[in-house]
Structure formats: structure tokens, C-alpha cells
Amino acid sequence: MNHPSDDIRGTKSKKLDGKTIVLGVTGSIAAVETIKLAREMIRHGARVIPVMTKNACGIIHPHALEFATGKKPITELSGKAEHVLYCGKREGRSDLLLIAPCTANTISKIALGIDDTPVTTFATTAIGSKMPVIIVPAMHASMYDNPFVVENIEKCSKKGLAVIEPRMEEGKAKIAENEEIVEMVIRTLGKKDFEGKRILVVGGATSEFIDDVRAMTNLSSGKIALALAKIAYERGGDVEVWHSPNVHPPGYVKAEKFVIHTDIVKLIEKCKKFDYVINCAAIADFTTEKRKGKISSDTPLDLHFVPVRRINTLLRKIGNVMVGFKLESVEQGMVEKAFERLKDDGLDYIVANTSDTIGSDQMEARIIDGEGNAIPVMGMKEYVAEKIFDCIT
């Protein structure tokens, strides 16, 4: 009979389907977060094997992690040689060792090759067999700032271990958010077809000011931009997002904020070249002269609008591959108009969609290449983002 944890396996995605992840838990109070962390990895299809130190067992009972994963936690090594079984140089071993939370004590032991707990023995074995290892520090800020701990974290990083930086809050180096940890796991075990590539995603909407309190803007939730950034990161890219204030990129990507269209122009002028630039932002086509203060609402107001610079043509100069978006109110003629925009702006690809997608989690679009071929795609925006990267790789 299946364990209840199998009921949630793959309910979010199949990105970790067939992958086995050893989850090492050490004696930080952040160990209480590992139930949710384990369950989240399972929702992406993973099989999770928990390993706990004695101190971790004093914070969270092994039964809790057994419930979360469907696997009895390894709290001591036995004649089964569990560390070799799961992390040794052998066929059928696990795919990754994730130590979360990882205390200053465990970090230092790993850096010095000491293995006197189940977790450190798993780490020694995994590192020796060249298995991917991710450590997620969690401790008091004064411990995290200890120069010996800093040095040991750097040692781990230089030897190829991935380190997810903690959140510095309330005088503590708190464990990273589960989303960031899971994304790093997916990135580490993914196909890495964009590894080493610099990818820029521009999303959200500009706001062109009329006076000090009023502005004209376009409707944009920024959801497709966030989906594109997430997929690019998962596939190994070095991702940067330029975004409007209403769009909140995850902490694991670089980010720059813009408000008016000239903010984007300034970002273009100071940035290095990217391998891929994807502009899905709703950038104003017109602007007007901003008036000081607040315009009185007692009298009629006439505004004179002037066209702004074409941002796509400027972005084209900083991207080896340039992808644009074209929004239309109706589907009729959408592909033809998008293809004309592709040619006018010198784009490599353009994604055509209708205004029905604004604010929605779903999207129906056409991905159009330089020959005018249009590939239909429909589904969740994350799925559409995946298909866009499949086309441009």
C-alpha cells in the first residue's frame, strides 16, 4: 500500500520526477521547516530520503519527517552502509544531497572532512563520489559572521558545493525560503541547456507621468515575465529581470526596477550584452510633458502626446537573440501584425497573444520565428514560458 505522501507526488510538476534527493537535517531550529520543504519537493515528483543528526532529532521528531516523506529517517548508520547506498560511487545512487538547515557546526565539519554524524558522513561520501551537494546555512547572525565560519563556507563553495545564502532578519541568518531551495534543486538536476548564458527578461508596465500624482500606463500583471525568469533560472541561465514596481521577482535572480520608459533606456545604456533578451513588458508608445504639482480637476484638460523611442530596437543592440511580444485585442490578424513588428524591430522571435491573457494564469499564444512560422501554444504561463525557451535554444 502506498504511503499518503504519494498522493501529492507530482501534483505541481514533473520536474523532479524520477529523482531521489537525500535531505540532511541538522540541529537548527529551522529544522521545523523541513516538513514543508520535503513535501514541496515531492509535489514536483521527487523521492526524498531524510537523514538526521542527533541534535536535529531533539528539535523535530523523526516521525514528522517519516510522515512528510514516507521514508523512515536515517538517524544512525548501520550495517546497511546507508551513506554508500545512497551517496556512494555505485549504480542506482541518489541524485543529490541537500543539507537544510545546515548549522555552523556541520558546515565546518564538512569543510574539514570530519564525519561524526550521519549527515556529515553522507556529505563526505557524496563529495567523494562527486554527487551534487547543496547546503543551506541557518544560524544566528553572529555565528554566520564568524570569520572561521565564513572561511569554511567559502571552502565548501570552492570545492563545488552549492550554497544558498540565508535571509538576514531579526539578527539571524534564517534559512532561505522553500521556493528558493526547491528552485535550486530543480536547477541543479535540470537539463542546463542555458547554463552559462546571460538572459534578460523585461516585464511589467511603464507609467508615464502627467503630473506629480497622475500617470498613464498599460495593463500588465508581469506574470509571464516571472514565469520566463523562473524557467530560465531552472534551465541554468544567469538571469536578470527588469521590472515595474508591481512585479516582484524572486530573490534568486538579479533585478532592476523601472517606472518610466527612459528608466529602461538608462538600464540599456549601462548594461553588458546578453545572450538572450526577452521583452514582454507593456511599454508606453506615447508620453506627455509632465506638469509640476497636481493639475486641478475643476477644468477640462487637454494633453499632447508624443511617441517614445522604440525600446525593442534599443534592446536588440544588447541581445544576441532578441524576443519580443505583441498584444492585440482580437486574434484575427494577430500573427500577421506580430510578424510585421518582428521585421520592423529586427527581432529573432515574437510572441503574439491577445488581451484576454492580461492578469490570467493561463495564456494562448503563437511563437513566431524570422521565417513567419507560427507555433501555437496554450496553457499555464509557466508552460508557455517553457515552450518559448524550447523554441529559442
CA distance 154 to 173: 16
Instruction: pLDDT band for 1, please (50, 70, 90 cuts).
Output: confident
pLDDT at 84: 97
For residue range 91-105, list pLDDT tens digits in order.
Answer: 999 999 999 999 999
Instruction: pLDDT band for 141, please (50, 70, 90 cuts).
Output: very high
CA distance 33 to 178: 8
Cβ atoms of 83 and 122 closer than 8 Å = yes
Mean pLDDT of 244-252: 95
Instruction: pLDDT band for 66, please (50, 70, 90 cuts).
Output: very high
For residue range 200-224, list pLDDT tens digits in order.
Answer: 999 999 999 999 989 989 889 999 9
pLDDT at 298: 86
Which cell numbers in the block locate residue 267?
538600464
pLDDT at 359: 86
* pLDDT of 117 above 90: yes
Report the first-to-last Cα separation within the chain, whole angstroms.
43
pLDDT at 358: 87
Which cell numbers in the block locate residue 391?
523554441
Q: What is the pTM of this model?
A: 0.94
pLDDT at 274: 98
Q: What is the mean pLDDT of the chain?
A: 95
Which domains, and CATH codes, for the chain? 4-189 (3.40.50.1950), 198-392 (3.40.50.10300)
Exposed e or buried b per residue across 356-384, where buried means at least 16 C-beta atoms within 10 angstroms of its C-beta: ebbeeeebbbbbbbeeeebeebeeebbbb
Which cell numbers in the block locate residue 63?
516521525
Which cell numbers in the block locate residue 335?
500573427
- Strand 238-243, strand 215-217: pairing: unpaired
Cβ atoms of 259 and 206 closer than 8 Å = yes
Residue 382: in which H helix or E strand, if any?
Answer: helix 381-392
pLDDT at 159: 96
Share above pLDDT 70 across residues of the chain, in percent, rounded to a whole number = 100
Instruction: pLDDT band for 248, please (50, 70, 90 cuts).
Output: very high
For residue range 314-370, list pLDDT tens digits in order.
Answer: 999 999 999 999 999 888 899 999 999 999 999 999 999 988 888 899 999 999 999
CB atoms within 10 A of CB 345: 19
pLDDT at 301: 85
Instruction: pLDDT band for 168, please (50, 70, 90 cuts).
Output: very high
DSSP string, 192-257: -TTTT-EEEEEESB-EEESSSS-EEE-----HHHHHHHHHHHHTT-EEEEEE-TT----TTSEEEE
- Strand 207-209, strand 254-257: pairing: unpaired
- Strand 215-217, strand 207-209: pairing: antiparallel
